[in-house]
Amino acid sequence: MSENSVEALLEEARLVAAMPPPEERLRLREAAGFSRAHFAATVGVGRQTIANWETGVSDPTPPARYPYLRILKGLAEIYPPPATTPNPVATLFTGTPTMPPQLPAPPAAALLGLETLRGPDGLAIEGDPGPCVRCGVETTYQSTDNRPLHSGALCQPITPTPPTRGPETTVPAVPAPAPAVPDPAVVSPVPARVPTRPQRRSKSAERAEADLMGLIRGAVEHEAERADGDEDAALKALIGRAIPDVMHLFNETRATARYEYTAYPALPDILHKPSKKDPDQIWEARPAYNNPAYSMRAPERDIKVTALDVNAAYLSALKVWLPIGKLEHTTGTDGVGPKRSGVHLITPAEWVHPHLPDPLGDRDTPGALWITDATLRLQLRLSGPKWALTGAPTVHESWTSGATENFLDALRKLLTSARSEAIAAGDRLTLEYVKAMYSKFVSTMGESVHNREMVRPDWMHNIHSQAYALHCGRAYKAHQAGLDVVALKHTDELHVTGDWRQVFTEGRGVAELKVKQGDGKTSGEYLVGKVGG
């Protein structure tokens, strides 16, 4: 072994001995304005690995550990900790604690006044991607001075950690006595329990959700303060920034995820719009059902109907099987499977139940059609022994890939928690902001000019269809419990006769229903009559 090799090994050992804690690793990178992707490319690891090192999920390991710690050492000398906190990395190499000089207010303070560049419609304007001047993470959104900047206060500005004041030291008049040798620690005969990996991941997920909840609260507080007490103005600003904000939250929830995804995959022609005004070929099976046996124009209107409202339908629909790879073409049933998703060309079986909504929605044209995997799964369930309401559809061809049901689950849980918290606190701003985020996230993930970060029409169609499939499921559940389904509309209206509270839970939670309020004739409770009765 050469002298240089020995010295390099010793230097790495010194660096490891003085390895800064995860929060300091994060502070140093953000202070320098580097993105995780930049760090990852420099030391030869993935972006997720850098995220794990900065959150304490894991510690740096060879061979990337040495260059990573060398970067941290250099950054620690350029960006020392604030106030009087000693520099732990520089101390190791100088032999004495390095105290940073008193500096003027950090430049990050000037960033707090930056505003997001917006168009006449209030929506954030996108430009060329680059590292955000606040947090260093790449973004396509711009500030008013044409620098990359995340919308509003959703990302955290580069601010130093508040100093921790240590105890004051004095020079003793006489030599201090040697410290007493402590008694040896008592070793338990029972070995300490080693945490399992799932526990570690769970704690990390909880910590990440708490951090992201803080971002949501911070965004609301930021816009409320900017609006100077004008709630309507604050709400307009929050809705205007909902798309970039929810994309930022989506990217953060994917930081510790197992699967990577392609934001701009190659898609078959059936998923492309032929023009801006014309839709693609996918039928989403949106319900628009009215039971022909009931009418408000009947001679005798003596049957009470309750109009029910579904809460956060699209938020619940984020729990859906989504394709995560390149869509592959297959014929017959080769593309159909419990862990595959995409779109399918089918010929449906005949629906012979006028008293129940058709799982294909209000489509009247017979013959083959392209549907989503979510709609196909509903049809297969209804053709099974539990329901036996229809025959199985004939699958002609498919565009599918391997799939997961949990791809958007972390985002769904985060927004559900924020929604529940807002309802409990009576916080209208946060409630409407969360609603705008999940609804715009779904509606713009296709081919929308308002969201250039993702082009996944296959996902959008499957999420829409999942919302409609869940809606049909409520109607079938009500019918099975003895209620008559009078109407099923859109994603959130279910009209039934009978005591619906024996079947559904009343409330504002995502799994609950409430009585629909409004000025229409079919809001709340109303009367209908039997046709021909």
CA dist., res. 232 & res. 205, Å (int): 34
Contact 459, 411 (CB under 8 A): no
Contacts of 532 (CB under 8 A, 6+ apart): none
Q: Is residue 153 part of a domain?
A: yes
Asked whether residue 87 falls in the same domain as residue 125, the answer is no
Burial of 426 (0-12, 13-18, 19+ CB in 10 A): exposed
- For 174-249, where are the E strands, in sequence order? none
Residues 308 and 439 in one domain: yes
- Cα torsion 283, 287, 292, 297 to 10°: value is -130
Whether residue 166 lies inside any domain: the answer is no
* Residue 404, CB-side half-sphere exposure with 13 Å CA sphere: 12
Question: 206: helix, coil or strand?
Answer: helix
Instruction: Please tell me the predicted confidence (pLDDT) of residue 36.
Output: 83
Q: Which helix (H) or strand (E) holds 440?
A: helix 428-443
- Is there a single domain that holds both residue 86 and residue 152? no
Task: Write out the DSSP string of 299-322.
Answer: S---EEEEEEEESSHHHHTTSS-E
Three-state secondary structure call for residue 341: strand
Same domain, 401 and 312: yes
Question: 150 and 14 in one domain?
Answer: no
Q: Is 465 exposed, middle or buried (0-12, 13-18, 19+ CB in 10 A)?
A: buried
Query: How would you classify the pairing of strands 369-372 and 340-347?
Result: antiparallel
Structure-token pair, residue 131: 């590292």
Rounded distance between C-alpha atoms, residue 51 and residue 34, angstroms? 13
Element (H, E) at 497: strand 493-497
- Looking at the fold, whether 247 and 285 belong to one and the same domain comes out as no
pLDDT at 11: 73
Structural domains in the chain (count): 3
Q: Identify whether the C-beta of residue 530 lies closer than 8 Å to the C-beta of residue 303.
A: yes
The set of residues, in sequence order, having a beta carbon less than 8 Å from that of 287 and lying 6+ positions away, is 357, 361, 362, 468, 471, 472, 488, 489, 490
If asked whether residues 352 and 484 sit together in one domain, one would say yes
Final residue of a structural domain among 237, 253, 269: 253
What are the structure tokens assigned to 276, written together? 């801006």
Q: Does residue 170 form part of some domain?
A: no
Q: Nearest 5°: phi and psi at 502?
A: -80, -15
Q: What is the CATH number of the domain that holds 73?
A: 1.10.260
Map residue 484 onto helix, strand or coil.
Answer: coil
Which DSSP string corresponds to 316-339? HTTSS-EE-S--EEEETTTT--TT
Entry pTM: 0.67
Which range marks the domain in which residue 219 is found?
A: 116-159+205-253
What's residue 16's pLDDT?
Answer: 78
pLDDT tens track of the chain, all 533 residues?
A: 555 666 666 777 777 787 889 888 989 998 888 888 788 888 888 777 888 888 877 888 888 888 888 899 888 888 888 764 444 444 433 444 444 444 444 444 445 556 777 776 666 666 666 677 777 666 667 777 777 777 665 665 544 444 444 444 444 444 444 555 444 444 444 344 444 334 444 446 677 788 899 999 999 999 999 999 899 999 999 999 999 999 999 998 887 677 766 777 889 999 999 988 899 999 999 999 999 999 999 989 999 999 999 999 999 999 999 999 889 999 999 999 999 999 999 999 999 999 999 999 988 889 999 999 999 999 999 999 999 999 999 999 999 999 999 999 999 999 999 999 999 999 999 999 999 999 999 999 988 888 888 899 999 999 999 999 999 999 999 999 999 999 999 999 999 999 999 999 999 999 999 999 988 888 899 999 999 76
Both 146 and 217 in one domain: the answer is yes
Paired residues of 394 in beta bridges: 347
120 with 84, same domain? no
Residue 268 included in any domain: no
Q: Which residue in 309, 330, 317 sits closest to 461, CA to CA?
A: 317
Amino acid sitting at position 309: D
Local structure of 48: helix, strand or coil: helix
CA 89 from chain center: how many Å? 36
In a domain, 336, yes or no: yes
Domain boundary among 94, 128, 148: 94
Distance CA 68, CA 37 (A): 13
pLDDT tens per residue across span 297-319: 998 999 999 999 999 999 999 99
Residue 6: per-residue pLDDT: 66
Q: Which of 63, 94, 125 is the last residue of a domain?
A: 94
Q: Determine the pLDDT at residue 154.
A: 63
| Within-domain flag for 265 | no
Distances (CA, A) of 458 to 242, 265, 340: 22, 10, 13
Distance of CA 216 to the CA centre of its chain: 12
Domain identity same for 316 and 225: no
State how far the alpha carbon of 505 is from the alpha carbons of 309, 466, 485, 499, 511, in Å.
Answer: 12, 21, 17, 11, 8
In a domain, 319, yes or no: yes
Same structural domain for residues 234 and 327?
Answer: no
Query: Do 381 and 459 share a structural domain?
Result: yes
Q: What angle do CA 297, 525, 353 make, to 5 degrees?
A: 60
Q: What is the amino acid identity at position 372?
A: T
Domain contains 504: yes
H or E element, residue 246: helix 242-253
